[in-house]
């Protein structure tokens, strides 16, 4: 698959403050890529560089095979959608009017149908007439998200897309993002929600102090960090942690012969566990 984003040795200083240092990663066409890291790790700075709002101090950042200084040119703006916490919505206008304004700005064809479709994806199709200033925080966030993909961009940047949403609406957004992916959209998202990263992302990058420390598919990372043990819960209430190797096999077999096992599972860490591991103590 072709790289839609390519970052090599990217470095950014704000005066003496180091935000990014030697960052490397690629995002492939059509994937949902999770960018995870603690506060201050450099997520927003990276998005700002990739969307042409900031220039790097050193290194290379490309989208669609071109330097990101092009990202604000009209032909690139058509191809990318950016959702940040800076809403840019008009509070006195209705949801529909806001969407219509944006559709006009981006020359969206068949705006009425597109607005309907985008609002449906965020579960807001019945709120079109509502004044934006009267919406709840979660509703506002969903409108901002719908506006981000109204013009059907090829590449979406989403900074914590479900941060203010309840679980039902988060799930609705997840379905919407998967549907966009099926249509071929590449999605780059940041999230502090490890469950979201695990269910949604094809690959995740763990960021720490301005560099990528780990990058792989969630399943592969969980396997890599697994401790090679499994847990048996016995009917008598006891819990046994047993090696997954040959030496544990006899013990498991003996419990099985006695029909003593109520539950048995491998001890793979969650992405959250790995996150704490990486950010709690630096990888060597
Ligand atoms: N305009 C700026 N001037 C000075 N320092 C900045 C500026 N923007 C970011 N930084 C610094 O760069 C580092 C990375 O910040 P960034 O906002 O990219 O982190 P983040 O991972 O997005 O954090 P969060 O999860 O809190 O949004 C931080 O140390 C931050 O203080």
Q: Tell whether 275 is covered by a domain.
A: no
Domain identity same for 257 and 208: no
Domain identity same for 63 and 94: yes
Query: How high is the pLDDT of residue 219?
Result: 92
Distance from the CA of 253 to the center of ligand 1, in angstroms? 53
Q: Tell whether 235 is covered by a domain.
A: yes
Query: How high is the pLDDT of residue 86?
Result: 62
Q: Tell whether 277 is covered by a domain.
A: no
Query: How high is the pLDDT of residue 71?
Result: 86
CATH number at residue 87: 3.40.50.300
Query: Using CA atoms, how far apart are residues 101 and 144, in angstroms rounded to an integer?
Result: 13
Task: State the distance between the two ends of the chain, measured CA to CA, in whole angstroms.
Answer: 31
Domain identity same for 122 and 174: yes
Q: In what order do the strands lie in the sheet with 239-243?
A: 239-243, 229-234, 261-266
CB neighbour burial string for 264-281, b if at least 16 within 10 angstroms, e if fewer = eeeebbebeebbeebbee
Domain identity same for 243 and 154: no
Sign of CA dihedral 205, 210, 138, 72: negative
Q: Pick the atom of ligand 1 nearest to 42's CA.
A: 18
Q: Give the count of beta carbons closer than 10 Å to the beta carbon of residue 212.
A: 22
The residue behind tokens 């957004």 is 173
Domain identity same for 54 and 98: yes
Per run of 10 residues, the mean pLDDT along the chain (length 284 residues) is 94 95 96 93 94 95 94 88 80 95 91 94 90 90 91 93 86 90 95 91 95 94 87 95 88 93 89 82 48
Of 167, 198, 222, which residue is a domain's last?
A: 222
Distance from the CA of 239 to the center of ligand 1, in angstroms? 45
Pocket test for ligand 1, best of 19, 85, 160 (most atoms within 8 A of CB): 19
Q: Tell whether 100 is covered by a domain.
A: yes
Query: How high is the pLDDT of residue 284?
Result: 40
* Host domain of residue 158: 3-222
Q: Tell whether 119 is covered by a domain.
A: yes
Query: How high is the pLDDT of residue 59?
Result: 97
Rg (CA), the chain: 23
Q: Number of folded domains in the chain?
A: 2
ipTM value greater than 0.85: yes
Domain identity same for 201 and 61: yes
Q: Pick the atom of ligand 1 nearest to 46's CA.
A: 18
Whose CA is closest to 213, among 267, 268, 149, 279? 279
Q: Whose CA is nearest to atom 4 of ligand 1?
A: 14
Query: How high is the pLDDT of residue 283?
Result: 43
Helix axes 111-121, 95-105, angle to 10 degrees: 120
Q: Tell whether 274 is covered by a domain.
A: no
């Amino acid at each position: 698959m072709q790289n839609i984003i390519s970052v090599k040795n990217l470095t950014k200083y704000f005066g003496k403050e180091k935000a990014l240092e030697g960052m490397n990663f690629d995002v492939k066409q059509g994937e949902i890529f999770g960018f995870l890291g603690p506060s201050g790790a450099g997520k927003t700075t990276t998005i700002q560089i990739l969307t042409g709002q900031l220039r790097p101090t050193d290194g290379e950042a490309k989208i669609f095979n071109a330097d990101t200084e092009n990202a604000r040119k009209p032909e690139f703006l058509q191809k990318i959608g950016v959702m940040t916490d800076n809403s840019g919505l008009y509070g006195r206008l209705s949801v529909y009017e806001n969407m219509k304004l944006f559709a006009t700005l981006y020359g969206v064809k068949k705006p009425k149908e597109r607005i309907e479709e985008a609002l449906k994806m965020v579960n807001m199709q019945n709120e079109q007439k509502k004044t934006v200033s009267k919406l709840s925080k979660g509703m506002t966030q969903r409108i901002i998200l719908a506006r981000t993909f109204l013009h059907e961009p090829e590449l979406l940047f989403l900074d914590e897309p479900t941060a203010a949403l309840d679980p039902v609406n988060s799930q609705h957004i997840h379905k919407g993002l998967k549907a966009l992916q099926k249509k071929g959209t590449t999605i780059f998202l940041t999230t502090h929600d490890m469950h979201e990263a695990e269910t949604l992302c094809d690959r995740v990058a763990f960021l720490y102090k301005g560099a990528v420390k780990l990058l792989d598919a969630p399943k592969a990372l969980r396997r890599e960090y697994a401790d090679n043990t499994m847990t048996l819960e016995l009917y008598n209430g006891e819990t046994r942690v047993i090696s997954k190797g040959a030496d544990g096999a006899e013990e498991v077999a003996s419990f099985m012969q006695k029909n003593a096992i109520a539950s048995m599972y491998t001890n793979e860490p969650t992405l959250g566990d790995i996150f704490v591991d990486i950010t709690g103590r630096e990888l060597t």
